[in-house]
Structure 1
Amino acid sequence: MLKTNVYFVRHAHSTYTPDELGRPLSEQGFMDAQLVTDIFKSENVDFVISSPYKRAIQTVEGIANWIDKEIIIEDGFRERKLAEGSVVDFNEAITKVWENPDFAWEGGESNVDAQKRGGEITMKVLKNYEGKNVAIGTHGNIMVLIMNYFDAQYDFTFWKKLAMPDIYKLTFSERELIGVKRLWERGVHNG
Structure 2
Amino acid sequence: MQKTLYIVRHCQAVGQEANAPLTSEGNLQAIALADLLFDFGIERVISSPFIRAYQSIAPLTERLGLSIEIDNRLSERVLCATPLADWRERLAESFTNLDLYLDGGESSRGAMARGIAVIDEVLQQEANTIAIVTHGNLMALILKHFDDRIGYAEWGKLSNPDVYRIQFFNGATQVERMICANDISINQNLHY
Q: Same fold (TM over 0.5)?
A: yes
* Alpha-carbon distance between aligned partners in 2 of 1:80 and 1:59, rounded to the nearest angstrom: 18
- Asked whether the 8 Å contact 1:3–1:174 carries over to 2, the reply is yes
Shift of 1:181: 3.9
Shift of 1:95: 2.1
Aligned to 1:10: 9
TM-score (norm 2): 0.88
Q: CA RMSD in A?
A: 1.8
* Alpha-carbon distance between aligned partners in 2 of 1:175 and 1:145, rounded to the nearest angstrom: 20
- Asked whether the 8 Å contact 1:15–1:24 carries over to 2, the reply is yes
Q: Which runs of 5+ in 1 are unaligned?
A: none
* Amino acid paired to 1:67: L
Instruction: State how 1:28-47 maps to structure 2 within 5 Å.
Output: 28-47=25-44
Shift of 1:67: 0.9
Shift of 1:4: 0.8
* Alpha-carbon distance between aligned partners in 1 of 2:52 and 2:126, rounded to the nearest angstrom: 24
Aligned to 2:149: 153
Shifted more, 175-184 versus 65-74: the winner is 175-184
Is structure 2 residue 79 aligned with structure 1 residue 82?
A: yes
Percent of residue pairs identical: 29
Deviations 1:44-78 (A, max 9, x none): 11011101111111101111111111100111111
Shift >6 Å, 4+ stretches:
none
Aligned to 1:167: 163
Shift of 1:14: 0.8
* Shift in alpha-carbon separation, 1:35–1:175, aligned structure 2, 3 A: farther
* Amino acid paired to 2:81: E
Aligned to 1:108: 105
**What is the number of equivalent residue pairs in this alignment?**
184
- Asked whether the 8 Å contact 1:115–1:146 carries over to 2, the reply is yes
Aligned to 1:22: 19
TM-score (norm 1): 0.88
